[in-house]
Structure 1
Amino acid sequence: MKVSYKIFIVAGEASGDLHGAGLVSALKDRIPQASFTGIGGEKMRNAGVDLLFTNTDLAVVGITEVLAQIIPIVRAFSLTVSWIRRERPDLVILIDYPEFNLMVAGRARKAGIPVFYYISPQVWAWRRGRVKKIRRRVDRMAVILPFEQEFFRSHHVKADFVGHPLVDTVWSGMSRTEFCTEHGLDPSLPLVGLVPGSRHGEVTRLFPVMSGAAGVIRAEMPQTQFVIPLAPTIDEGLLRIDEYPVFRTRDDRPAVCAGETYEAISASDVILATSGTVTLEAAVLGTPMVVTYRVSPVSGVLGRFLIHVQYASLVNLVAGREVVPELLQDQATPDALAEEVLFMLRDKARRMRMKEDLRDVTRRLGSGGAAGRAADLALEIIERNRIR
């Protein structure tokens, strides 16, 4: 008789939704009789997860931003804990989203349910004391950045580097010419991607600055075109594109596309990107970038005391050196961002050097198959727990 498995999975952000869907698919290949319930987005729903709560209202960053969304976060946590206590799943899988997920891990551990963490909270970057909670509450981790395995094992946490799932999932389905033709762009002219993030707070803080930079770029290089790939968590109305002088006329408007993020990034000569998963996506696609980020002033001040890494972008952290320029907080002005982008557009040799550096970063992320290796580790935990 086949044994059925019940698994609960939480992915609080858009990138986690993508990786969660990949892990669920890999687990279904190994245990087709498993059922999945959790928190995530459309990709996880399409992979077969019965969603208790969608992650749209949960994707926030920074202390003040979390407070603004506290009601949906508390509601999602309450639903999660109630379901875990009532249904007693064979395994709880947590993907990134540390503040929420470490609380879930604590409740699951108290209920005697094993916890598997896929895609580590970035405790190596800030608030390293959280590694103690991980050691107490998590049975095993599958980490996706090459330096994380050593970090966690040095803190007596069971962790295995499985490679980065983006190596398998990031690819463009069309050429630059095809993409430009589809969106009314000229493939012979410069194309700059504006990627303001997947969280509402990121977009409202960063898109005005990016739009200002676009104005400076277009003043210097009038034929420059712009494309904005929208994250699935962001509605185009949030951008308020018509409010920015650089985009007011019909001919000057950027191409806005949903569901074609990789195609847009791949087609771009350079992207102006938030510091997050998108920097690694651009690295895998081989697209040069300028990285920027802003949080609220309160979060920024606290971050200076709490952050323990030299770089903000994952590309530079994986490389161990500055491969892509970073302009953060007060440095992230329209003029400064435009200067870096213009430098890149005008200097083909620099773009080529960056492309080679990005290929090296991609090699460090592993050879593919991350979701499958993570699924094998998760299944080990389930089977070991059932034997007990």
Structure 2
Amino acid sequence: MANQAKPPVIMFSAGEASGDKHAANMFLEMRALNPEINAFGMGAAAMRTAGIDVVYDSTSIAVIGVIEVIKHYPEIRRALQLMHNLLQTRKPDLLVCVDYKDFNFKLASYAKRLGIKVLFYVSPQVWAWRPGRVKQYAKVITAMAVIFPFETCYYEAENVPVRYVGHPSVDKVKPMYSKQHAMQRYGLDPNKPVLGLLPGSRANEIKRLLPVMLAAAELIIKQHPDVQLVLPQAHSISDELLSHYLDPNLTLKIVKNEMYDVVQCCDAVMTSSGTATLEVALLGIPMLIAYRLSPITYGLGRLLVKTPFIGLPNIVANKAIIREFIQHEANALALAQEAIKLLSDTVYADNMRKELSGVKQRLGQGGASHNMAQWALELLA
């Protein structure tokens, strides 16, 4: 129970860029409901800007894949030890763990031993692999907030307090400009097709996917010289990293930090797997999904993962509405052929748009950050 004599204190733990933003938005909503509330923890720029005291910057440990985690393990271990110490010395009224599953599971276990309430935001993908984890989480958390409506049943079965709070992307995916304004802003011809390249927001995704997407783009341009190419550059990707792979002979318009405006201009998109697929789906743009992992990570994934899809829109729809190209299937020729089909076969593209509209409907009205803020305040009361 929070001490009513002093303002409540929340500790946040976010290890990746998406979690950093979710935590920041949630805290801003909490402040709107209770201006006295204070917060500290692990995160990055978004949390800092929102007014959270970021004690540990998580940028250096925002990695995915077995090999990448092993490489960064000493730093991840140091971060976990620091967070343990903070729980013990500052004794927050509530710990909010945002995504970053394995790290936050360990942190939640420690908080439980100290008698600190834990609200976990973004469930591990128990519907894809290791459903037995629900029982493990049930032992260490106070409540679970899920971002897909089909996830609640897993926790209800184990009597874990659970709520579908809405998917954060529903609120976030809002272009700043009209499509017409955006087309003018980027110098795009409305009479010619536009193809978007979304190779990812992490350095290892760029290294694995951008070269193959660029090679596919070259094949497309040979057959359809009027296709305009655009690449929305994530803030986490440096100019130096991009320029290493770019071909000066290929005309590619790069736009920084305006992904939704860029994507709404597209007739089709080649995207990496992950949240970006859902964001493109919410904008209703036909796409193909490409993904490559290190051979070890992929091999382990094939043994463990039970879902037939990797693309979130396919998972939400529970059927293959978007073609997925994984590992060796993600080659230039295969991507080029599918992209050309999306750009030239109007029946095929229109059918995908209709299916994407269904995905958007399933995700509901949004309000995730506000719903999270309200639930956190309930747990504090």
Same fold by TM-score greater than 0.5: yes
Give 5+ residue unaligned stretches, structure 2.
none
Question: 3-state SS of the aligned residue for 1:291?
Answer: strand
2:365 to 362, 367, 375: 367
Matched residues in 1 for 2:60 and 2:255: separation?
Answer: 22
1:161-310 aligned at under 5 Å gives the runs: 161-241=164-244, 243-244=245-246, 247-249=247-249, 252-310=250-308
Instruction: Give 1:19 shift.
Output: 1.8
Deviations 1:130-163 (A, max 9, x none): 2232111111011110110012222332211122
Answer with 83-92 or 227-236: which moved more: 227-236
Q: Name the counterpart of 1:123.
A: 126
1:324-363 aligned at under 5 Å gives the runs: 324-363=322-361
Q: Name the counterpart of 2:31.
A: 28
Question: 3-state SS of the aligned residue for 2:39?
Answer: strand
Instruction: Give 1:2 shift.
Output: 6.6
Q: Name the counterpart of 1:107.
A: 110
Matched residues in 1 for 2:331 and 2:149: separation?
Answer: 32
Checking the alignment, whether the CA contact within 8 Å between 1:14 and 1:232 is kept in structure 2 is no
Checking the alignment, whether the CA contact within 8 Å between 1:14 and 1:231 is kept in structure 2 is no
Q: Name the counterpart of 1:50.
A: 53
Checking the alignment, whether the CA contact within 8 Å between 2:134 and 2:154 is kept in structure 1 is no
Answer with 317-326 or 75-84: which moved more: 75-84
Instruction: Give 1:323 shift.
Output: 1.3
TM-score, normalised to structure 2's length? Answer: 0.94
Answer with 168-177 or 144-153: which moved more: 168-177
Checking the alignment, whether the CA contact within 8 Å between 1:65 and 1:201 is kept in structure 2 is no
Quick one: which amino acid aligns to residue 248 of structure 1? P
Instruction: Give 1:170 shift.
Output: 1.0
Instruction: Give 1:76 shift.
Output: 2.2
Quick one: which amino acid aligns to residue 324 of structure 1? I
Matched residues in 1 for 2:229 and 2:72: separation?
Answer: 31
Matched residues in 1 for 2:169 and 2:273: separation?
Answer: 16
Matched residues in 1 for 2:122 and 2:103: separation?
Answer: 14
Runs of 4+ in 1 over 3 A off after TM superposition: none
Answer with 9-18 or 344-353: which moved more: 9-18
Q: Name the counterpart of 2:72.
A: 69
Matched residues in 1 for 2:217 and 2:71: separation?
Answer: 30
Question: 3-state SS of the aligned residue for 1:311?
Answer: coil
Instruction: Give 1:31 shift.
Output: 1.7
Question: 3-state SS of the aligned residue for 1:327?
Answer: strand
Checking the alignment, whether the CA contact within 8 Å between 1:60 and 1:200 is kept in structure 2 is no
Question: 3-state SS of the aligned residue for 2:62?
Answer: coil
- Tell whether 2:309 aligns with 1:311: yes
Instruction: Give 1:320 shift.
Output: 0.9
Question: 3-state SS of the aligned residue for 2:226?
Answer: coil
Instruction: Give 1:272 shift.
Output: 0.9
CA RMSD of aligned residues (A): 1.7
Answer with 109-118 or 182-191: which moved more: 182-191
Question: 3-state SS of the aligned residue for 1:188?
Answer: coil
Deviations 1:301-336 (A, max 9, x none): 111110011110110111111111111112111111
1:154 to 154, 157, 178: 157
Question: 3-state SS of the aligned residue for 2:59?
Answer: coil
Label 1:186 to 1:68 Cα distance change in 2 as closer, same or farther (>3 A).
farther
Deviations 1:86-111 (A, max 9, x none): 11111111111101111111111112
Question: 3-state SS of the aligned residue for 1:147?
Answer: helix
1:321 to 315, 319, 322: 319
Answer with 253-262 or 295-304: which moved more: 253-262
Checking the alignment, whether the CA contact within 8 Å between 1:216 and 1:335 is kept in structure 2 is yes
Deviations 1:194-220 (A, max 9, x none): 111122222211111211211111122
TM-score, normalised to structure 1's length? Answer: 0.93
Checking the alignment, whether the CA contact within 8 Å between 2:119 and 2:142 is kept in structure 1 is yes
Question: 3-state SS of the aligned residue for 2:61?
Answer: coil
Matched residues in 1 for 2:362 and 2:196: separation?
Answer: 25
Matched residues in 2 for 1:253 and 1:2: separation?
Answer: 62
Q: Name the counterpart of 1:386.
A: none
Label 1:78 to 1:256 Cα distance change in 2 as closer, same or farther (>3 A).
farther
